[in-house]
Structures are given as C-alpha cells and as structure tokens.
Amino acid sequence: MLPQASRAAAILTLGRWFSARSRVLPWRSEPTLYRVWISEIMLQQTQVVTVLPYFERFMQRFPTVEALASASEAEVVEAWAGLGYYSRARNLHRGARQIVASGFPRTREGWIEIPGVGPYTAGAITSIALGHAEPILDGNVERVLARVLALSRADGDARFKARLWKWSGLLVRRAARLEVSPSRFNQALMELGALVCTFRNPKCAECPVRYVCAAARLEATERFPGKKPAKEWVRVEEIRHAWIARDDSGREVILMRRQAPGEWRAGLWDLVPEAPAIGKAALLGEIATRHVVTRHKIERTTKIWSVSEMSAPPRPQKIGEEFAWTPLDQPGLAGSASFQKTWKSLREFRIGSPR
C-alpha cells in the first residue's frame, strides 16, 4: 500500500501542485498564529467562499488577540452573526482571554487546551503557522487519503479514522524530511480535497497524484470513503411572536429580544417567545418555518401581531439590554439562522398582506 518511492514522489508532486494552483486566501498570505486560528475556527462546518467576507470584517474589528479579548461576548457574537454555530464565537472569545493571560500555545497539546480547538484544528494551526509536522484530518483530507489508500468506513468508523490519522502523521513527517514544509503539505491535502478530489464528481483527470490513487485505479472513487454513520436528529419545536408596530416616522418596526446567558443562542437577538403586555394588538396570522442546525431539526411557529394604541410610538433603538425595536425591512441586530429564515418568511407575509 503506497510504496516508499511512490509516496515520496507523490509528496513532492503535491507540493509543487499546491505552489502553482492554490487559491490566494487572506490567512495564507499572512499566516500568523492569530489569523490562522481565527480562520480555522471559522472554517469548521463552513465553506471557504462563505468565510472570506466574514474573516475580513472580523480582522478589521478585532485585528489582534488583545482586541478580541477586551471585547464583550455580545460584540464578538454580533461580529459573527450569519456564520452560524455560535458556540464557535463564544469559544473564540474565551480562548482569546486565555491566550492574553498565558500567551499563544506553541504545541499541538497546548492548542487543544484552548476552547473550541480539537485534534484537527490544533494540527492545522501548528503545522500552518509554526511549521510543525503535525497530522490533520478534516473532511477534505479524509476523502483524499481514503481514496488514495482505498480505505473505507465499512470496517467501522473508529477504525477507519484511526488508520487515516496514522497515515496523515506518516505523510506529513515524510514531507518534512523531503523538505516539503508541513504547512505546504497539509494545506495541499486540504486544497486537493476542496478543488479536485470533491465529494461528488471528482476531477480525477486533473489530480496531480492520480497515479498513486488506489480508488482511481479501481475506477471506484464513489466507494471511498463510504457513507458516514446515520445522524441522530433532535427535533425542536419553537413558538415565537412577531410584534409589529410603527415608529413616529411611520416605519414598521419589530420587537426583538436578546437571548440570555445560558439560553440556546445566547447573545443573539430573536423574536420574543411570549406575548408581552405592550399595547393593544390584533393577530394577523402565523407562519411556519423549518431549519436544520447541526443535529437539530427546528420547527418554528411564529404568530404575527399588529400593535396599536401604545402609550408612546416605539423607536428603532435598544430599550434596555434585553429588548429592542428594530426596522422590519432591515433588522440591524445579530440574529440566529433560525431568526433569519423566520424574518424572510415574515417579510414575504407582510408584502402579501394588506397594510
């Protein structure tokens, strides 16, 4: 399985391919520990094309780890709004404060102690930013190695992953001995999986290491790595109330509530979960939305109310730390993906309803 001579030739070929074909990405042009760490956390469960604008804005707002640590959690979550999986933002904030107190870790083991950093992310950070010969295994690398080595999940997911981790370590250490830096080699594996060795319709004719790929030789790329274990879904049912009023300029505004610490989506804004006594109101109707987050299938029912006869016109500004009125046509508050889907349906409802 992948003889030593073929292994060395493939490593050198892959290194040259990456130098010639890799995408220009902001964390690659300036691979500091801080920038690589932020990018790797953003790239968890999220594609590069989605991450790029968020990364640039995040760097402008928090250019250093000190700036990130000194911000409030609410500010960090707000800057993260739209990327989803908000525990990543909270972990970044906690990690920044830990780093400011103790310094940037210089080893894989040290990085694993940072909130939100697991074995893959620790290996990516230390290999890319520090040049350490550490293994990595994300979805792209898993697919590349599984096809090259003809390894399948059929023997069990745990055994499959263990074998891939072993091979990832062997190859990055071999690359270092061949003077292909761990940074370049590991990123080359990621890039190959992202651009060429894709999940569907891999571009085998464009692959620089096709000549050592067992799956290509067998003409069976679709068999490797095989299906992941079935995901266990958690069903969540939510009720929300959309309280719509008009401010003193006649613009429609909607009442929002910030999720409290300890609540799911803490720090994010959403519609209110119950009907507060804010004035006379009429029920206009309701909408149903569905949304999937990690292993949660969320079914949400939103009741839409038209508010009148308030003691004073609502203003599109925060009213305390918990509630705020914000323009319905363009909410300026950081909301969860569930809220964004609800808001889109709510706008469609209002456009089709008499005013």
Q: Which residues does the annotation mark as catalytic?
A: 40
Of 142, 100, 104, 99, give the one whose Cα is nearest residue 120: 142
- Neighbouring residues of 215: CB distance < 8 A, sequence distance ≥ 6: 146, 147, 148, 150, 221, 223, 224
Q: DSSP assignment, residue 222?
A: G
Neighbours of 30 (CB within 10 A): 10
Q: Which residues face 258 on adjacent strands? A: 269
Of 152, 164, 289, give the one whose Cα is nearest residue 223: 152
- Neighbouring residues of 56: CB distance < 8 A, sequence distance ≥ 6: 26
Q: What is the DSSP string of 288-346?
A: EEEEEETTEEEEEEEEEEEEE--SS---SSEETTTEEEEESSS--S-B-HHHHHHHHHH
> 308: burial class by Cβ within 10 Å (0-12, 13-18, 19+)?
exposed
Distance between CA atoms of residues 175 and 188, nearest Å: 11
Q: Are 114 and 95 in contact (CB under 8 A)?
A: yes
Q: Which residues face 287 on adjacent strands? A: 302
Pair of tokens at residue 287: 């909408």
Q: DSSP assignment, residue 197?
A: S
